[in-house]
Chain A
Amino acid sequence: MSQHLSEIDGKGYWSAVVRLTISLLLIWFAVSYGAGILFRDFLDQFAIGGAPLGFWFAQQGAIYVFVGLIFYYCVAMTRLERKFNVKG
């Protein structure tokens, strides 16, 4: 049976969730729109293996970071749920 909202600090939990979400979305923005598009020309002067770095972020790197972001979010959310005693 569902617990009711009054028993837990819903507001505190929610603001922690929003903070976490915003910081992860900043990384999401930085690796795709940032590294892959806006700052690509700058990053292209560096190389990863034989690929220009900005180009590599646009075609490979951003995707790897996306995967990492979602799993980090899962772990961090479980931690928040435990901290605020939310069922999850």
Chain B
Amino acid sequence: MDAAFWTYFFVIATFGLYIGIAIWAKAGSTDDFYVAGHDVHPTLNGMATAADWMSAASFLSMAGLIAFLGYGGSVYLMGWTGGFVLLALLLAPFLREFGKFTVPDFVGDRYYSTAARVIAVVCALFVSFTYIAGQMKGVGVAFSGFLGTSFELGIIIGMCIVFVYAVWGGMKGVTYTQVAQYVVLIFAYTVPAIFISMIITGNPIPQLGFISNVRGEDVAMLDKLNTVVRDLGFLEYTTTNKSMIDVLCITGALMFGTAGLPHVIIRFFTVSSASAARVSAGWALVFIAILYTTAPAVSAFARLNFIDTVHESTYISSEVDYDGDGVINGDDYTFRAQQITQEGGKPVPPWFKEWEVTGLLGHNDVNGDGVIDYTPLPDENGSISYAPGMNQLAIQTEVSPLDRDIFVIANPSIASLPGWVIGLVVAGGLAAALSTAAGLLMVISSAISHDLCRRTLFKNMTDKQELLTARFSAAGAVVLAGLLGVFSTQLGFVAQVVAFAFGLAAASLFPIIFLGIFWKRMNKEGAIASMVFGLVSTFAYIYFFKFGGGTPDQYFLGVSPEGIGFVFMWASGLVGIVTALVTAPPPKDIQDLVEDIRVPGTRISHGAADSGMAPVPAE
């Protein structure tokens, strides 16, 4: 059985499973559709949150990114896990106790303001659409790279699958498919990681291999990696050329952004109580940590293995009849590889040839010596620079093109694993992308059907009408997300997810949700001022440096666009506090509401605060 067969097998089998779950979990009410009936088990919700959270980027790209950034990649590891501590301690249990459906619900009711609700809807929609386009693109890439379909057809297939379980099952369908998707993706990630850890360090546990010696040598794996990359002319692995302030701010923006992302927050509305929300956040982080502590180990192993096998290897062309039998086939590689070995050389490894056909990597023989030199090439000024702010990822070598995703997807072939593992990795990547896309779709559809239609425009809608609207807006959102994915290469903002989605969530949503719980005096005026300030300042800064021609030497305090959300988060919080202090305090009903959500089990309806919609009590 070859890899193509297994890829089809796993993709079709997992898709069938997701649809089966969706049919079983049909949503019968708005309660089911938005929050899965408020009765998901905390551990299962933890798994669903982990799948919801870990996107195509976490699964396919993160390890490769860290392999090239070394210590600089730590911002993703700390940022995308540390946010869950903030969620568990500062937001999730209180928002569950608040007892409604969406993030704009909280903002609108806590700040007794339709304007605040609508601004929150705008933030949630912008963040979610930026994020979802990247997921659909990931689905398209996976299909076109592995299943031989076109990029567009891949996205359409992905859209149909998500359509079935999101539109039919709502949050209930999404939750249970995410549980299944977590199992698929974590298995697909860890199996190749265990094998590659054994190859490099002899230790089957990647986290331990990370701090062990290289197999059969008396030198620590990381020490060896440092020496090897330094000798080749790269920056040492355990260092970075980013300034400390920038590393600090990017980590902060990712952490607070994570805590403020609506699709993560709403997962905690699906459990039965505040204490279940806390436990659930703990489980979510356990399930996420399994992947996030494996990833940096995979990065280091893959970089070391890559240099070991590729650097100074003699390239073997796929267009030369080496053995002279008149046909060009796999025998030519074997023949030439033996020849090179006999001459005392190192042939290009078979996995390199195997993946070259996908266009993800190749050999650009700049000096024409037929050997792959994996050393940094000088830029147009003839120099190699690691000055602060200089993008390490832009350094070119003779291995070109080189897509960083190769460090995860080629692992099974690097480790000579059987074909079914490759199929599993493809299914895992699709699971990661689809589960995140579905979570985002729920935010988008509920923002439209619940916050805009039911709570703002048509307040007399019945539950049944709202459910129908929710299904239609989910369907519309699927189509729009697919279109964004298809045109993602032309849309510059899609590639800036890290800056836009996290920066905006950190600067516009986090401060007002946090202050809404921890500061009773926070009022409508303060919330609106804070959100608008956070949204406008962060958007303008990112836009200026990503698309408006700004250069790194103009950075404010040396902070890059990826980290600016952290700076503006403090600023927008301050704007909110000052505005609140010079305007009237919130009504008594609101202050009572805040006291209630702080103390589990005391939530009752409070006049003005809950006139639009009664809270769902905890079990």
- Residues of A near B251 (CB, < 8 A) are 32-33, 36-37
- Residues of A near B599 (CB, < 8 A) are 5, 8, 10, 13-14, 86
Report whether A70 and B74 are in contact in the complex, using a CB–CB cutoff of 8 Å.
no
A50 to B74, CA, bound (A): 18
Q: Contact string, A42-66, partner B, CB cutoff 8 A, digits 1/0?
A: 0010011111100110111011101
Report whether A49 and B212 are in contact in the complex, using a CB–CB cutoff of 8 Å.
yes
Report whether B602 and A51 are in contact in the complex, using a CB–CB cutoff of 8 Å.
no
Q: Assess whether B204 is interfacial by the CB under 8 Å rule.
A: no
Q: Contact string, B204-220, partner A, CB cutoff 8 A, digits 1/0?
A: 00011011110000011
Q: Assess whether B289 is interfacial by the CB under 8 Å rule.
A: yes
Report whether A50 and B211 are in contact in the complex, using a CB–CB cutoff of 8 Å.
yes
Report whether A17 and B222 are in contact in the complex, using a CB–CB cutoff of 8 Å.
no
Report whether A64 and B289 are in contact in the complex, using a CB–CB cutoff of 8 Å.
yes
Report whether B600 and A81 are in contact in the complex, using a CB–CB cutoff of 8 Å.
yes
Report whether B211 and A88 are in contact in the complex, using a CB–CB cutoff of 8 Å.
no
Residue on B with the closest CB to A62? B78
Q: Assess whether B161 is interfacial by the CB under 8 Å rule.
A: no
Report whether A70 and B273 are in contact in the complex, using a CB–CB cutoff of 8 Å.
no
A63 to B296, CA, bound (A): 12
**A residues contacting the other copy or chain, number (CB 8 A):** 48
Q: If the complex has contacts A10-B599, A59-B296, are A32 and B220 also in contact, measured as CB distance less than 8 A?
A: no
Main secondary structure of the interface of B (DSSP, over half): helix
A1-53 CB contacts (< 8 Å) to partner B: 1-5, 8, 10, 13-14, 17-18, 21, 24-25, 28, 32-33, 36-38, 44, 47-52
Selected contact of B278 from candidates A28, A49, A55, A74, CB within 8 Å: A74
Main secondary structure of the interface of A (DSSP, over half): helix
Q: If the complex has contacts A10-B599, A50-B211, are A70 and B617 also in contact, measured as CB distance less than 8 A?
A: no
Q: Contact string, B240-282, partner A, CB cutoff 8 A, digits 1/0?
A: 0000100110011001000000000000000001110011011
Q: Assess whether B583 is interfacial by the CB under 8 Å rule.
A: no
Q: If the complex has contacts A59-B296, A63-B292, are A69 and B278 also in contact, measured as CB distance less than 8 A?
A: no
Report whether B244 and A38 are in contact in the complex, using a CB–CB cutoff of 8 Å.
yes
Q: Contact string, A61-88, partner B, CB cutoff 8 A, digits 1/0?
A: 0111011011101100110010000111
Report whether B604 and A10 are in contact in the complex, using a CB–CB cutoff of 8 Å.
no
Report whether A28 and B602 are in contact in the complex, using a CB–CB cutoff of 8 Å.
no
- Residues of B near A73 (CB, < 8 A) are 88-89, 278, 282
- Residues of B near A81 (CB, < 8 A) are 275, 600
A60 to B299, CA, bound (A): 13
Q: Which of A2, A13, A17 has the most CB of B within 10 A?
A: A2
Min Cβ gap B461→A in Å is 27
Q: Assess whether B436 is interfacial by the CB under 8 Å rule.
A: no
Selected contact of B74 from candidates A10, A36, A49, A87, CB within 8 Å: A36
- Residues of A near B90 (CB, < 8 A) are 21
Report whether B223 and A67 are in contact in the complex, using a CB–CB cutoff of 8 Å.
no
Report whether B275 and A88 are in contact in the complex, using a CB–CB cutoff of 8 Å.
yes
- Residues of A near B84 (CB, < 8 A) are 66, 70
Min Cβ gap B485→A in Å is 31
Q: Contact string, B81-108, partner A, CB cutoff 8 A, digits 1/0?
A: 1101110111000000000000000000
Selected contact of A71 from candidates B71, B274, B282, B617, CB within 8 Å: B282
- Residues of B near A21 (CB, < 8 A) are 89-90
- Residues of A near B273 (CB, < 8 A) are 88
**What are 29 A-to-B residue pairs whose CB atoms are below 8 Å?**
A5-B595, A8-B599, A33-B248, A37-B244, A38-B248, A47-B220, A49-B211, A49-B212, A50-B211, A50-B222, A50-B223, A51-B220, A58-B78, A59-B66, A59-B71, A59-B74, A60-B207, A60-B210, A62-B77, A64-B289, A66-B81, A66-B285, A67-B286, A70-B85, A73-B89, A73-B282, A74-B279, A87-B600, A87-B618
B residues with a Cβ closer than 8 A to A are 66, 71, 73-74, 77-78, 81-82, 84-86, 88-90, 207-208, 210-213, 219-223, 238, 244, 247-248, 251-252, 255, 273-275, 278-279, 281-282, 285-286, 289, 292-293, 296, 518, 595-596, 598-604, 617-618
Other A-B pairs, 13, CB within 8 Å; known A5-B596, A71-B282, A77-B275:
A21-B90, A49-B212, A52-B222, A52-B238, A55-B74, A58-B71, A60-B207, A63-B78, A63-B81, A70-B89, A73-B278, A73-B282, A77-B278
